[in-house]
Amino acid sequence: MMKGKLILIIGGARSGKSKFAEKVAIGLGSKITYIATAASLDDEMAERIRLHQAFRPKDWITVEEQKNVIEVMLSGCKGDVFLLDCLTLWLTNILLDDQLPEPGTTKSKKELFIMEQAAGIADVVESGAHLVVVSNEVGMGVVPESSLGRSFRDLAGKVNQVLASKADRVYLVIAGLPLELKSIARNDSVFDI
């Protein structure tokens, strides 16, 4: 069985990354499973989710799963492509769940669990399916005020790095414009000073 492609799409809030990810997914295959990690916790978030759903092609399979995304991808969901939107919401869901990986887990064990799960997400392409992952770039702003905020920012950066290192392509989307990063990083002249 051939390995699938892993495409990571990062950017800031409302940068156009989800819309771009959907185009990438369509280019990779015809049977697409959309894994939505957002939780509808208030009216505003419910409306955001509704708008995302309204613009998604009707023939896509949508699975709403906030934490166990690897299970979804390895379970019997058939398709050419998985589109995971969004990795940072998934990270938030796990970070705030005091039952994962087990009740009373220390901060360092929680972080190790998250990093292992992130690597597992990237490894799903070994099954032959393509994987498009949407994630937020949260490390370009101010230092968060709270310890939890700093932990989230640091983990998001580390998780993005894990996926980027394993990805076939990494796109940074700014103002709806995608910039492919891995080809730039491979260009040795960029590092000549």
Residue 38 is labelled as binding a ligand: yes
Residue 167 is labelled as binding a ligand: no
> For the chain, what's the residue count?
193
Cβ–Cβ < 8 Å for 127, 74: yes
Tokens 């492919």 locate to 180
For the question of residue 52 being annotated catalytic, the response is yes
Residues 105 and 127: their CA atoms lie apart, in Å, by: 31
Residue 85 is labelled as binding a ligand: yes
Please tell me which residue in 5, 19, 29, 52 is annotated as part of the active site: 52
Residue 13 is labelled as binding a ligand: yes
Residue 146 is labelled as binding a ligand: no
Residue 139 is labelled as binding a ligand: no
Cβ–Cβ < 8 Å for 94, 46: no
Residues 105 and 102: their CA atoms lie apart, in Å, by: 6
Cite the annotated binding site for GTP by residue number: 11-18, 36-38, 64, 85
Active site residues: 52
Cite the annotated binding site by residue number: 11-18, 36-38, 64, 85
